[in-house]
Amino acid sequence: MTTPATNPAPTPLIALLFPGQGSQSVGMGRALYDAHPAARAVFEEADDALGFSLSDIIFNGPDDTLKLTEHTQPAILTVSIAALRVLEHELHARHLFIHYAAGHSLGEYSAHVAARTLSFADAVRTVRARGQFMQSAVPAGQGAMAAILGLPIADIEAACAAATAELAPEVVATANLNSPDQTVISGSKAAVERAAERCKELGAKRAVMLPVSAPFHCPLMMPAQLQLATHLASIPFHDPAFPVASNVDARLLTTADAVRDALIRQVTGAVRWVECIGLLHQSGVTHYIEVGPGKVLTGLNRQIDRALATTNVEDPASLEKTLLSLSPAS
């Protein structure tokens, strides 16, 4: 008697997604630190690279200290890479591979550490400097950001153009194209407020001013972009081990020179997240794994397309759920 042939489960095509600023919380990553030596080694490497105990700020705060951009950026990168190192070990044990990566703003650096484009030590020092450059680019109180919910991107862009024309030389532009339902605008405080009001007049469900310390991803960040360009010129880059989706162009990058250029232009350019996810989907990705603190990108994937299979890894429990979702029986 013969056994009927069965088709083996298809091998998952995996894309890693890395969160950006806003996903931080005091105590993040502690469970991974306690449970996995590979994660612990990442925190120790970050402390050594920076010359102070970033780990203490991450685990113990206070919250106001963690929220300082120069601490937030290396902190999120560190927790993301700690989670990555544990996940990589588990994927290797299961003969599974990472095919693509993308990161939201700051998260693009985590994606390139994952792709071995640059070292973790260089990345953690760079994002701390990036945070300092961005914080000092615009005097406190002069810039702002707002989230616009439930309004087509064309209407939001029109509102920004009208506010810029009306209040010149004040500027406002789209900064984060997060989902079909959520776009963030950024720029001079008066122009952001005027554009937000115009968006409400055009039918936005909500227009919410965000509690941020600087107007990221807009032309006002040009001083930071120029400083970062000088900094990145001194950092060794390698061709990525797998393609990484670029925020600023929404295209897959495979060369070191293209990566460096994209990371520079990203400072003033918009995060084209919807297009990045669409690009990965078109490339055949079957499983998306958010790696790092929180579930912001998991939530955005649900808004972009509820059919996208997305899990996250931020602690041992979420790691276990993700590995279960990748098993043949899933």
**Residues designated as active site:** 105, 217
Number of Cβ within a 10 Å radius of residue 309:
14
DSSP 8-state secondary structure symbol assigned to residue 4: P
Structure tokens at 45: 């490497």
C-alpha dihedral sign at 267, 284, 81, 144:
positive
Tell the burial category of 3 from Cβ atoms under 10 Å away from its Cβ (0-12, 13-18, 19+). exposed
Q: What are the backbone dihedrals phi and psi of residue 315, each rounded to the nearest 5 degrees, phi first?
A: -160, 175
Distance CA 80, CA 84 (A): 6
Token pair 């994952």 in the structure block, residue: 114
DSSP 8-state secondary structure symbol assigned to residue 220: G
Q: Are 292 and 79 contacting, i.e. CB atoms less than 8 angstroms apart?
A: yes
Distance CA 196, CA 294 (A): 27
Token pair 């794994």 in the structure block, residue: 289
